[in-house]
Structure 1
C-alpha cells in the first residue's frame, strides 16, 4: 500500500471516529435516564442516557488521538487540536450541567467562545510562525511530504529569487490565516445558535438537547465550515504550485513529490 492510499484510509477513519461516530452516539444514545441503573422497562438498549452518551462520544476522539500519538511516535498538530477541543468540551460540560440536567444560562456563550478560540489561536500561530524556522504553513500545506522543497529552494537560490519566494510563502500564510479567522467566526455563530435553542427548552429536556446540540455543531461545522475551508486549502495549494512554477521554472511534476 502506498502513502497516498494509507493516508486516505487514515483520513477516512479519522473522520469516522472524530465526527460521524460521536455525532451518532450523541443523537441516538442520549435518551434515557441520567442513571442507567434506573432504566425503565421497555427502554431501548442503546438509550444509555445523556451522561454516558456524552462521556463515550468525547472519549472516542481522545483515545484515537492518543493512539495515533503512540503509534506514530510524533505529535500531529491537528490531532492535538482535536484532543484540545474534546477536553475543553468535557470541562465546560462538567461546569454547565446542573442538578436535574438543567444547563447553565451562560452555556451558549461559553461553547461559542470555545469553538471560536481554537481556529483563532491557529490563525495567530500561522502569522507569528512565518518568521520562524518552522512556519505552520509547512505543516498545513507546504509540507515536505507533498512538495520537493529542497529542489524548489535550490531553483530559487540559483535564480536569485529568494525575496519573491518569501513573499509567496508570506501571502499564502496570510490566506491560510484568513481562512482560519473565517472558520472562527463561523464556529462562533453556529455554536451560539444551536446552544441557544437548548436554553429555550424545559429544564428536564435540556441535558439530552445539550448532547444533541454538540453533535449538531460537530456535524454542521464539518459541512458548512470544514468543507469550504478544505476548498480554500486546495486553492492555496494550487496557487502555490502555479506561482512556484513561474518562480523557479520547474514543472508541476518537479515541484511535487511522486
Structure 2
C-alpha cells in the first residue's frame, strides 16, 4: 500500500490529532485487520483486504469533504489505496503492486522537475506556498538587496532536492514490495505480507524521504536569511 507523499510544510503545521488519526486509519487499523483477520475462520484473505482498505479510503474521503481541499496528493492517496485493493482482490501478481508503489511518487518527482519551468513550480506549493510565506514581503526584501534572480536559482536547487525525495520514495516503495510480497495473491500469507508492508512503509520510506524534504526547506530558509539579511520570521505568515 503506497503511503502518502512526504507532507508539505503546510501539512506539517496541521493539528497533532490529525497525525494520530492518520496513523490509526491509514496504518494501524489496516495492519491489524490484514495481520490478524485474514485467516479463513475470520474474514479470510480477500475480505480482510477489502475491510482494511475501506478505512484509509473512508478517512481520506471524509477529510477531503471536511476540508474541501481537493488537492492532488489527497486524491493520489485514495487512488493508490483503491488500486492496491483492486489488484489484490483480482489476485494479480505482486509485480503490479510493486510497479504501482513506485509509479505514484515517481510521477510526482517528475512533476516537480517539469513544473520548475512553469510560472508557479510545484515546490512553491509544497514548500513555499502562500499560506506559509508572505511573498510580497519576501519579494520586496529580495528586490531591495538585488537578490531576486539569485534566490530563484536557489529555488531551482531545492527543486532537485525535493524531486530526489520522491524518486527515493519510488525506489524504496518498489524494493519493499518486491522484498515482502512473495506469497500467492489471494492467500492468507499474501494478505499478512500486505499488512507487514504497510507497517514498514513509514519507517522505511517516509522517514528517509522526509529527511530530504526537510533538508530542502532548511536550505531555502537559510538562503532566504542570507540574501535578505532578515530573520525568517519576517516572511512567515502568522
User: Normalised by the shorter chain, which TM-score bucket?
Assistant: 0.7 to 0.9
Partner of 1:159: 145
Which has the greater radius of gyration? 1
Within 5 Å, give how 1:41-60 maps onto structure 2: 47-60=42-55
Partner of 1:79: 74
Q: How far apart in 2 are the matches of 1:252 and 1:213?
A: 45
The answer on whether the counterparts of 1:245 and 1:255 sit within 8 Å (CA) in structure 2 is no
Within the candidate set 17, 28, 35, 1:9 is matched to 17
The answer on whether the counterparts of 1:241 and 1:255 sit within 8 Å (CA) in structure 2 is no
TM-score by length of 1: 0.81
Q: Which has the higher contact order (CA 8 A, sep 6+)?
A: 2
How far has the Cα of 1:147 moved from its partner?
A: 2.5
Partner of 1:236: 216
Within the candidate set 233, 245, 248, 2:228 is matched to 248
Q: What runs of 5+ residues in structure 2 fail to find an aligned partner?
A: 1-10
Q: How far apart in 2 are the matches of 1:218 and 1:119?
A: 16
Aligned-residue RMSD, C-alpha? 2.1
Q: How far apart in 1 are the matches of 2:20 and 2:73?
A: 14
TM-score by length of 2: 0.88
Query: Is 1:191 matched up with 2:177?
Result: yes
How far has the Cα of 1:50 moved from its partner?
A: 1.8
Partner of 1:36: none
Query: Is 1:28 matched up with 2:36?
Result: yes
Q: What runs of 5+ residues in structure 1 fail to find an aligned partner?
A: 34-46, 97-103
The answer on whether the counterparts of 1:245 and 1:251 sit within 8 Å (CA) in structure 2 is yes
CA 1:221–1:4 in 2, change beyond 3 Å: closer, same or farther? closer
Aligned residues: 228
Q: How far apart in 2 are the matches of 1:135 and 1:6?
A: 23
CA 1:139–1:216 in 2, change beyond 3 Å: closer, same or farther? farther
Question: In structure 1, the residue corresponding to 2:132 is in which secondary structure?
Answer: coil
Worse-matched range after superposition: 161-170 or 133-142: 133-142
CA 1:131–1:4 in 2, change beyond 3 Å: closer, same or farther? closer
How far has the Cα of 1:213 moved from its partner?
A: 1.5
